[in-house]
């Protein structure tokens, strides 16, 4: 039938591609399931995406979306109490977890194929039949409160700093408060609030299922059908988040006894994943501050050449918990993003210098743009580096869900990313830099144990010479002279005690 | 959200959770392993794995904070890990970085008590260029003093970012108290006073490299879509000339502990109290039924399906979480039981509950069904963790480094399969002895 062996294999491969494409594309019926089959995978990955997030927290009940999510992932169902759930999941070595972000909530889980039936029953009970009992509510609300009052305020100044930056930039919008809520908001939440929130938002029209790995074909319909057991209801209206642009450079110093300095700064940006300019800006941002990577300019400027801290990075998309992950997270899709720079913890005496160095670098990048060598190296880097973004099926499912959120059709963001790296020009990158980034209006947040000294230095724009105590190359010292008197021209400095952060 | 909080806590802990592979006799490990020891002693482990399309390239130096036996040298193995990115004559740091950048590699490294691992995730076509630069830096590292001194600042920065974490604070204190002589008494990060002095140790850094970074003290682990024959030939070519010269460190032996130690650990920020109880354990020994049974015991007594978890976390709600693990160490290490207490007034009550559970495990055998469930959990946990080349490498690295050989995976599996409830009882009686423990309580400035 086939003239050559090669022809046979070409046909086989084409058939396999067709099967794959037919699985990942929306089917001709009304199926809305997102599917990523992996033939030799002995596990099955599940995601149920609910279009609800902390932006839907009622005023005065901040933290309600997160607490509702917690009760679904770590509470009883009408079928099993939570102890029984733990008992049943234990020999399967599986679990499920809920991740709540500003605009989306995902319930994620993974099972070995040998345990599929048992696991599937437990997973579906979690979102279809949550029990919402008093005991689970008290336990999880208390945990969430402790996270806000103790862990977020005290255990990592870097995460605290980024969260404060987000809160200030998004003041007056539904993004303002941390996903975990505010202390006062959480304290006022009742179990009835959780039940009402679930009934209002965990409805058929807000939910999508996503399935990946080596799942059997019967599972697709059965999984999707579970959504029919959710109530119908009023589907969420398209939300709008319009942050107010800062006027000038405004600084918020968070006063925390004995703290070294942790710094973040940023501003809202209007470009979004999927748009061509977004990928152009990604290239420039990667050159400036690729996350946890020694290739970035900010990393080399402050750490590599001066040894001031552990690293310095920049972002054009939300990147929560950056201290504990290397690759971009999934399911933190947001319609409104911000550009931000993260300067890791350094001595208070070097804070003003490091801030000057980073701002000066940003200004230079916007004004001069990238050169051809920098552009080509960064583009080549990203052409392969993106392969690490989604190494697991669970991560690929996450990207597929985000593609739907952003309305990216075809093969999705990662495929488009690869395609863009092959087609975007240096001119486009430099145009995008000028179009979306700026340096006049920004919010700067610093966690510090030296508020008075730092406030005065910033208000007066005092010089910030650095003493290394070790010999340094001449070119570094010459650049230091330019940095240490670089005018930051801060418009305002506000001081907030750490105990007041996230209170309301 | 609670799971998220707990995950953060777990990440914060500075010890490695042991997961034991329960592999059936017909070989459930899904990937072929090929090994070879080069003439110079370099141990090579190749795992063929086609899924994912990436290669995990791991160079594992069997050196860590355990080797820091000299005065005022705590944290040096970790600092030296940083210096390994500072270049050679052939590939200075900026050239090395330009190469890893141009091939889109994901690169990093970490240091623990017993090992320092350097890992890259790369595309298959870049294997040879990576082997060239990696074999070069392990044989020909060379950096100027200014670079060395500058990097010391970055290490201090790493310490600064960690020291606000209460789990970091309590771990540092409890290990210091538990070991009076052995180098396990300090964490891989080292003490602040030693970190401050690091810029002065340029000459020492050269001798450190010459003593520890030798082929007979190194394991090369490559996982992914590789052709084992071609890859092995390349390895012989790039690493074959590496000269031997490993000088084993003179690590002091820890005298037997004869009385319980208790410390209170102050914390500058606000925190719920953390209780950290460490019992003296044995060195990793996959053939020893008691050692392996003890790992299972930790999970049975304090895991998420344990009686104490249900009672204290779910019913009484006096703690946020509880967990226990026996560390996988070259020398006798610790069994750590860690919990965070919601009500500061309940600290002594929680310790008494931990003691009650231990007394029960020392007085009667656990149910056979419970042990079977745990073996099932370990089996699926192991299998589900093997989903990418990087994760396969990560699951093997500690066993390889601590034992020095890949055979450990099978040996550990065979021993674990044979563990009986009586072995668990014996392990509890052998290890969970109050005279051999250190109890630390961290209290925040509330």
What is the H or E stretch that residue A262 is in? Answer: strand A261-269
pLDDT, one tens digit per residue, over A52-101 is 999 999 999 999 999 999 999 999 999 999 999 999 999 999 999 999 99
Q: Which of A392, A443, A374 is nearest to A110 (CA)?
A: A392
| Neighboring chain B residues of A321 at a CB cutoff of 8 Å | 8
Structural domain boundaries of chain B?
2-17+256-444, 32-239
Chain A closest-CA separation from residue B306 CA (Å): 9
- Report how far residue B366's alpha carbon sits from residue B274's, in angstroms, rounded to the nearest whole number: 28
Indicate the CATH number of A23-229 among 3.40.50.300, 3.30.1490.20, 3.30.830.10, 3.40.640.10.
3.30.830.10
User: Is A324 close to B104, i.e. CB distance below 8 A?
Assistant: no
Confidence at residue B414, expressed as pLDDT on a 0 to 100 scale: 85
Contact in structure between A174 and A494 (CB atoms under 8 Å): no
User: Is A93 close to B52, i.e. CB distance below 8 A?
Assistant: no
Q: Does B85 touch chain A if contact means CB atoms closer than 8 Å?
A: yes
Structure tokens at B315: 């019913």
Indicate the CATH number of B32-239 among 3.20.20.80, 3.40.1280.10, 3.30.830.10, 3.30.1490.20.
3.30.830.10
Would you list the DSSP string of A404-433? HHHT--TT-HHHHHHHHHHH--HHHHHHHH
**Rg of chain B over all Cα atoms, to the nearest angstrom:** 22
Question: Which residues of chain B, if any, have pLDDT below 50?
Answer: 1-26
CB pairs under 8 A between A and B: 219
- The CATH code of domain A249-500 reads 3.30.830.10
Contact in structure between A254 and A164 (CB atoms under 8 Å): yes
Which residues contact residue B80 at a Cβ distance below 8 angstroms, ignoring those fewer than 6 apart?
B116, B205, B208, B209
pLDDT, one tens digit per residue, over A169-221 is 999 999 999 999 999 999 999 999 999 999 999 999 999 999 999 999 999 99
**CATH topology agreement for domains A23-229 and A249-500:** yes
Q: Does B4 touch chain A if contact means CB atoms closer than 8 Å?
A: yes
Confidence at residue B19, expressed as pLDDT on a 0 to 100 scale: 41
| Neighboring chain A residues of B166 at a CB cutoff of 8 Å | 154-155
A-chain residue closest to B105, CA distance: A385
- Report how far residue B43's alpha carbon sits from residue B61's, in angstroms, rounded to the nearest whole number: 11
Residue A297 has pLDDT above 50, yes or no: yes
- Count H helices, E strands: chain A? 18, 11
Confidence at residue B406, expressed as pLDDT on a 0 to 100 scale: 77
A-chain residue closest to B271, CA distance: A150
pLDDT, one tens digit per residue, over B33-47 is 999 999 999 999 999
Counting residues of chain A whose pLDDT is more than 90, the rounded percentage is 90
- Report how far residue B274's alpha carbon sits from residue A307's, in angstroms, rounded to the nearest whole number: 33
Residue A336 has pLDDT above 70, yes or no: yes
Residue A31 pLDDT grade (very low, low, confident, very high; cuts 50, 70, 90): confident
Residue A387 has pLDDT above 70, yes or no: yes
Q: Does B161 touch chain A if contact means CB atoms closer than 8 Å?
A: yes
A-chain residue closest to B108, CA distance: A293
Confidence at residue A5, expressed as pLDDT on a 0 to 100 scale: 52
Instruction: Tell me the average pLDDT across A402-416.
Output: 96
Side-chain-side CA neighbours of A199 within 13 Å: the count stands at 8
A-chain residue closest to B56, CA distance: A388
Among the partner-chain residues A43, A138, A344, the one whose CB lies closest to the CB of B317 is A138
What is the H or E stretch that residue B55 is in? Answer: strand B55-61
Residue A24 has pLDDT above 60, yes or no: no
User: Is A97 close to B4, i.e. CB distance below 8 A?
Assistant: yes
- Domain B2-17+256-444: give its CATH architecture: 2-Layer Sandwich (3.30)
pLDDT, one tens digit per residue, over A169-180 is 999 999 999 999
Contact in structure between A89 and A95 (CB atoms under 8 Å): yes
Q: Does B95 touch chain A if contact means CB atoms closer than 8 Å?
A: no
Backbone angles phi, psi at A448, to 5 degrees: -155, 150
| Neighboring chain A residues of B123 at a CB cutoff of 8 Å | 384, 387
A-chain residue closest to B101, CA distance: A381
Beta strands of B225-333 (E only): which ranges? 261-267, 274-280, 319-326
Which residues contact residue A51 at a Cβ distance below 8 angstroms, ignoring those fewer than 6 apart?
A103, A104, A201, A206, A207, A235, A236
Confidence at residue B28, expressed as pLDDT on a 0 to 100 scale: 61
Among the partner-chain residues B5, B105, B380, the one whose CB lies closest to the CB of A115 is B380
pLDDT, one tens digit per residue, over A225-257 is 999 999 998 888 877 899 998 999 999 999 999
Structural domain boundaries of chain A?
23-229, 249-500
According to DSSP, the residues that pair with B44 across neighbouring strands are B36, B220
């Amino acid at each position: 039938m086939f003239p050559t062996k090669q022809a046979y294999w070409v046909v086989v491969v084409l058939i396999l591609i067709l099967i794959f494409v037919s699985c990942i594309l929306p089917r001709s019926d009304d199926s809305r399931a997102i599917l990523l089959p992996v033939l030799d995978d002995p596990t099955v990955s599940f995601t149920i995406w609910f279009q609800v997030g902390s932006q839907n927290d009622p005023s005065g009940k901040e933290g309600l979306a997160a607490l509702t999510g917690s009760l679904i992932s770590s509470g009883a169902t009408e079928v099993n109490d939570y102890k029984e759930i733990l008992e049943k999941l234990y020999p399967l070595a599986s679990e499920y977890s809920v991740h709540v972000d500003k605009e989306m909530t995902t319930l994620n889980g993974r099972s070995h194929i040998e345990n599929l039936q048992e696991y599937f029953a437990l997973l579906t009970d979690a979102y279809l039949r949550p029990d919402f009992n008093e005991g689970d509510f008290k336990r999880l609300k208390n945990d969430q409160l402790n996270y806000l009052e103790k862990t977020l305020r005290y255990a990592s100044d870097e995460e605290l700093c980024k969260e404060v930056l987000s809160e200030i930039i998004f003041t007056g919008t539904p993004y303002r408060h941390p996903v975990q809520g505010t202390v006062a908001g959480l304290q006022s939440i009742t179990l009835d609030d959780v039940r009402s929130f679930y009934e209002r938002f965990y409805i058929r029209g807000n939910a999508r299922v996503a399935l990946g790995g080596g799942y059997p074909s019967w599972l697709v319909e059965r999984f999707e059908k579970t959504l029919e057991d959710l109530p119908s209801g009023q589907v969420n209206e398209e939300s709008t988040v319009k942050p107010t642009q800062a006027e000038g450079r405004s600084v918020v110093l968070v006063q925390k006894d004995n703290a070294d300095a942790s710094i973040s700064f940023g501003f809202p940006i209007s470009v979004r994943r999927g748009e061509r300019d977004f990928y152009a800006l990604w290239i420039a941002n990667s050159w400036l501050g690729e996350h946890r990577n020694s290739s970035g300019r900010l990393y080399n400027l402050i750490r590599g050449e001066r040894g001031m801290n552990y690293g310095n990075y920049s972002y054009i998309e939300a990147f929560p918990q950056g201290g504990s992950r290397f690759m971009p997270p999934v399911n933190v899709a947001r319609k409104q993003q911000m550009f931000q720079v993260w300067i890791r913890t350094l001595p208070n005496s070097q804070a003003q210098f490091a801030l000057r160095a980073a701002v000066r670098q940003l200004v230079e990048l916007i004004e001069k743009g990238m050169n051809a060598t920098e552009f080509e190296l960064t583009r080549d880097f990203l052409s392969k580096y993106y392969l690490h973004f989604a190494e697991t099926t669970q991560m690929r499912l996450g990207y597929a869900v985000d593609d739907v959120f952003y309305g990216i059709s075809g093969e999705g963001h990662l495929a488009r990313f690869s395609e863009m790296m092959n087609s975007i020009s240096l001119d486009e990158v430099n145009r995008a830099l000028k179009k979306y980034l700026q340096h006049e209006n920004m919010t700067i947040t610093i966690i510090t144990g030296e508020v008075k000294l730092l406030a005065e230095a910033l208000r007066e724009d005092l010089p910030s010479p650095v003493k290394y105590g070790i010999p340094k190359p001449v070119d570094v010292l010459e650049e230091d002279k330019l940095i240490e008197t670089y005018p930051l021209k801060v418009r305002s400095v506000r001081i907030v005690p750490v105990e007041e952060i996230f209170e309301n | 959200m609670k799971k998220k909080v707990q995950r953060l806590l777990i990440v914060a802990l500075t010890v490695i959770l042991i997961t034991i592979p329960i592999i059936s006799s017909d070989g459930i490990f899904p990937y072929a392993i090929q090994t070879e020891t080069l003439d110079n002693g370099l141990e090579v482990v190749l795992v063929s794995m086609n899924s994912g399309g990436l290669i995990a390239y791991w160079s594992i130096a069997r050196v860590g904070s355990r080797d820091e036996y000299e005065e005022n040298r705590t944290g040096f193995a970790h600092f030296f890990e940083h210096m390994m990115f500072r270049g050679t004559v052939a590939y200075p740091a900026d050239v090395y970085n330009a190469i890893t950048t141009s091939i889109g590699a994901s690169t990093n490294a970490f240091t623990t008590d017993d090992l320092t691992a350097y890992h890259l995730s790369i595309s298959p076509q870049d294997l040879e260029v990576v082997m060239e630069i990696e074999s070069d830096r392990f044989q020909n590292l060379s950096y100027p003093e200014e670079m060395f001194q500058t990097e010391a600042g970055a290490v201090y920065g790493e310490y600064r970012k960690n020291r606000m974490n209460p789990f970091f604070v309590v771990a540092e204190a409890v290990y210091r108290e538990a070991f009076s002589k052995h180098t396990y008494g300090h964490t891989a990060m080292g003490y602040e006073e030693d970190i401050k002095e690091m810029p002065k140790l340029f000459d020492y850094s050269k001798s450190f490299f010459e003593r520890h970074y030798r082929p007979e003290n190194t394991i090369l682990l490559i996982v992914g879509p590789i052709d084992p024959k071609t890859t092995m030939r390349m390895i012989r070519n790039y690493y074959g000339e590496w000269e031997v010269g490993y000088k084993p460190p003179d690590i002091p032996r820890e005298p037997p502990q004869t009385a319980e130690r208790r410390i209170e650990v102050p914390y500058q920020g606000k925190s719920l109290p953390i209780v950290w109880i460490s019992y003296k354990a044995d060195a990793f020994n996959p053939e020893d039924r008691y050692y392996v049974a003890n790992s299972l015991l930790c999970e049975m007594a304090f895991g998420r399906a344990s009686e104490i978890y249900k009672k204290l976390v779910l019913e009484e709600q006096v703690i946020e979480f509880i967990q226990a693990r026996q560390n996988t160490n070259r020398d006798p290490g610790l069994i750590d039981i860690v919990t965070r207490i919601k009500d500061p007034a309940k600290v002594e009550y929680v310790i008494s509950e931990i003691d009650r559970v231990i007394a029960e495990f020392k007085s009667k055998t656990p149910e056979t069904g419970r042990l079977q469930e745990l073996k099932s959990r370990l089996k699926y946990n192991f299998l589900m963790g093997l989903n990418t080349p990087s994760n396969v490498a990560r699951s093997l690295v500690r066993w390889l480094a601590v034992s020095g050989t890949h055979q450990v995976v099978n040996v550990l599996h065979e021993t674990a399969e044979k563990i009986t409830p009586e072995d668990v009882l014996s392990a509890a009686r052998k290890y969970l002895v109050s005279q051999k423990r250190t109890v630390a309580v961290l209290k925040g400035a509330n």
